[in-house]
A and B are shown apart, each in its own frame.
Chain A
Amino acid sequence: MRKADHPLFLERESYRRRRLMDAARVAPVITAFLFCFPLLWVGREDVPTTFAIIYLFSVWLVLVVGAYFLSRRLRDMPGRTDRTRR
């Protein structure tokens, strides 16, 4: 059911803003998934520690850089927009 005060189409800018917030919400899920990925190696005896180190730190670095760009765009957004989650 669509409420009257929620228009079907948004301006391009607000549309982008909402997708950005979606990205912010997905970010921790992706992070958790990537950090839990090594669980697939459990039981195998052939994964060297050096590989695990390289994997984990690379993922970590990528996430930090991703979070940096995301946060710069999110920082100046007013909290009020969060209402759209409803």
Chain B
Amino acid sequence: MGMLNVLVAVSLAYVLFLFVVAFLADHAAARGHAKWLQSPLIYTLSLSIYCTAWTFYGAVGYAARSGLEYLTIYLGPSIVMIGWWWGLRKLVRIGRSQRVTSIADLISSRFGKSNSLAVVVTVIAVVGTTPYIALQLQSVTLALEAFAGEARTSAGHNATALWLAAGLALFTVLFGTRNLDANERHDGVVMAIAVEAVVKLLALVAVGLFVVWGIAGGVGPVMEMISQSEIAVWQVSSGRWAGLMFLSAAALLTLPRMFQVLVVENEDERHLATASWAFPAYLMAMSLFVVPIAVVGLELMPAGANPDLFVLTLPLSQGQDALAMLSFLGGFSSATSMVIVAAIALSTMVSNHIVMPIWLSSQGASAMVAGDVRHVVLLSRRLSIMGVLALGYFYFHATGGGEALAAIGLISFAGVAQTLPALLGGIFWRGATRVGALAGLVTGFVIWGYTMFMPSFGPDVFFTQDVLDHGPLGLVWLRPQALFGISGLDPMIHALVWSMSLNALFFVVASLVSFPTPLERLQGAQFVNVFDHSARPGVWSRGAAEAEDLLVMAQRILGPADAQALFRSEAASQGITGYLPQISPEFLQRLEREMAGSVGAATAHAMIGQIMGRASVTVEDLMAVADETAQIMEYSNQLEAKSAELVHTTRQLRAANEKLTQISHQKDAFLSQISHELRTPMTSIRAFSEILRDGGTLELKAQEKYAGIIHDEAIRLTRLLDDLLDLSVLENGQVSLNMRGGTIASVLDQAMAAAGAENNPMRIRRSGAREDVRLFSDLDRLAQVFINLISNAQKYCDAKSPVLTISVREVEGQLVVDFTDNGSGIPKASQEVIFEKFSRVGSDQAAGGAGLGLAICREIMLRLGGQIAYLPGQGGASFRVTLPDALEMAAQ
């Protein structure tokens, strides 16, 4: 048992190492040092999750039983990779341009963002992958037992699998659900599986080298041994050779985990070019030593030894414990990397297409306004990951890890391959419809289940021997393994031919007879013509939605920082400052895509639809679909672009004009305002000074009081004049800045003290350690801005228990300080003018203020090289102060 303990210790150390690798990679990616993480090499290595424990252990067993047939499993994908220019490149381009999160999302998105389609694909994927996960758990368990040298009790057997499943769930939750956006890659996970890819290749090659040169004595003798062995002669059934090659090629495209690494995690389309030769080379290296190991194993190992474990037992039997240990780690790597990626892929599908739609419909319209949807999505992903691994474990537990599992690899392939017609039809054929895809998928899935999946459990699980032999209810033509009386075929080929051909047939026929919805036609055009950049994506027409509503919703899904950045960049591209762009169809399209990266296309579409009130496709949009009118379209596109430009310019002009009129009104009011602000204190001063001058019978107390008033009003006058002068100096740019270094925290402390925050009922929440940022600026001026914002909040926040949140954070590489209160905010009409002189919100007169504060703040921030803006959609009134390049300045 000592050996086993060492093995367990080594495995744990290895797992720890993977954790560290994933953590460091995530960390590096988060800090932007991820160039090398996104190299084509890492991409290629991540594809190697195609080679699971089924490859690592099973290929040798397969070869020992059926000769060279095992090679088909690696030749098929090689064909697909070498032909990347045709298929994969298009798939990856679509995946990136549509921000696809999974294969279910891609198919659903192509066929009119139909969620029912996504659900069907998800179910197929879960049913097809669960046994495969069980297979991985089994292989690790068996390998451990081979080391222990004894068959352990079934309780120990299950315990190993359970620990493994739990550990993998932990890893996947930790590194797979860090960020929400599926298009923000899982750098940590990808890095870990790339490391595992290297380990498994090294392990298999090491065992191979040892077998060829260490045991057999060179290439010649090995060839001799092969010729002497049971598999000396080429004997492969032509049906199986071609069928399996097709099947494995299809699986490369349709396996959820492969789709995840190929398409979703793809960073750069050009990585495919490298993978096109490097991945076939990897597969070749993985399969090179399989036959020698099998033949030597058959020769040396006792009869009845499980050939599936030769990779492990052969070095063990030769006393090569270290090599055996490496081999174990190789198998372990193969199993774990597959399970991790499969769990991420499946959980994304389950969460986006099953859990989220249910949650959203149960919440009704309130889902858009209540709570942070991101937390729900993350939670549902985490639960889905645990659910998927639990399913795998229970499958393993229920089947007892028996023989049924050994054949599951191909069965799983055939199951997920049922999505192939819909996938290929979707990206190459504009005529494919949702009804067709649904018909094909369901047909293929049912036939696969009936002819392959259910019989695989052997008699008396789903079918009795009688049903297998004579068909259900005695209907001979419905025998699961000889449909329509065609018997004598290999059962695998039988199931594959029937399921795929009927699947494709139903898909095509139902597509031909049905009629697609406008959205389907648009999506179809976009998918099929993805390389044609002129294809204009226009699905949303302008509706009544307020930009602020959309911002509120987007913040809940993308997170405040990303959503604000998106809105601001869109507004900037429209020539508008602030966070609320014009709602153009292009903007809605972009927003929907961003959101699709988080919650899937169908859900994102539904959410925007709910806010917009309608999902409308206009006649002009449909014009884009008709390729017969391509030339007319080109011309009208140009016209349209011009008219759109005109509309845009007009819009800008109108906005500018409105603002000018407003400002001129304010200029007009300026003198009258100054007069008012000066005369009011003067009135008190004059009145009381006359009273005092007249003397008479004033009590001493009254005299003191009146003198006090005169004094206060004089100060008020002085302050007003100071403010006016300050503003004029700032506006003329004659201000001299007193630059020095300090931390945000200390500036905020100073401001809070000056604003009298301690004795004010308003509670102030700060952001703690994040304020500990050094900056180099005119800190007194900055404090002046902060004081203004704090005392404004104290004056105007109308909440029962007023709270001001001051949060410091980094947005798009710039340090921002947000001042957000919980009052009723500033009405949209006033948001435009609050930074103008003498503008006050509403008609209420501020206690003591002349309405110059925010105007001064704006000028100060301008001088300091920063910005101050009103931030809409935050609940209460919210001001964002953007500091001038804080980090750069701190370095000075």
Contacts and interface: CB of A to CB of B under 8 A. Distances in A.
Contact of B238 (A39, A61, A68, A76): A39
Nearest to B80: A28
A60 B227 contact: no
Contact of A24 (B79, B85, B93): B85
Residue from the set B93, B232, B276 with the largest chain A CB neighbour count within 10 Å: B276
Given A24-B85, A68-B277, A52 B68 contact: yes
Contact of B276 (A41, A60, A71): A71
Interface in A15-67: 21, 24-25, 27-29, 31-32, 35-36, 38-39, 41-42, 44-53, 56-57, 60-61, 63-65, 67
A41 B234 contact: yes
B75 interface: yes
Nearest to B81: A67
Residue from the set A44, A46, A63, A65 with the largest chain B CB neighbour count within 10 Å: A63
A82 interface: yes
Interface in B245-283: 245, 269-270, 273-274, 276-277, 280-281
Contacts, number: 116
Interface string B52-87: 000000000000000110010001001111111110
A75 B233 contact: no
Nearest to A61: B284
B17 interface: no
Contacts of A76: 270
Contacts of B277: 64-65, 67-68, 70-71
B232 to A, nearest CB: 6
Contact of B273 (A35, A74, A82): A74
Contacts of B223: 50
Contacts of A80: 531, 533
Given A50-B226, A57-B284, A38 B234 contact: yes
A12 interface: no
A28 B79 contact: yes
B531 A72 contact: no
B284 A83 contact: no
A79 interface: yes
Contact of B236 (A35, A38, A68, A83): A38
B82 A45 contact: no
B241 interface: yes
A35 B231 contact: no
B71 A56 contact: yes
A49 B68 contact: yes
B234 A79 contact: no
A48 B229 CA distance: 11
Contacts of A68: 277
Contact of B245 (A36, A52, A63): A36
A49 B75 contact: no
A49 B86 CA distance: 33
B291 interface: yes
Contact of B531 (A36, A49, A50, A82): A82
B242 interface: yes
Contacts of B284: 57, 60-61, 64
Given A24-B83, A42-B237, A56-B75, 12 more contacts: A21-B85, A27-B82, A31-B83, A32-B245, A35-B245, A38-B241, A39-B241, A49-B233, A63-B280, A71-B274, A79-B269, A80-B531
30 contacts: A21-B85, A25-B83, A25-B85, A27-B85, A28-B82, A29-B83, A31-B83, A36-B241, A36-B242, A39-B238, A42-B236, A45-B233, A49-B67, A49-B68, A49-B226, A49-B291, A51-B234, A52-B234, A57-B284, A60-B284, A63-B280, A67-B276, A70-B277, A71-B84, A71-B274, A71-B276, A76-B270, A79-B93, A79-B531, A83-B532
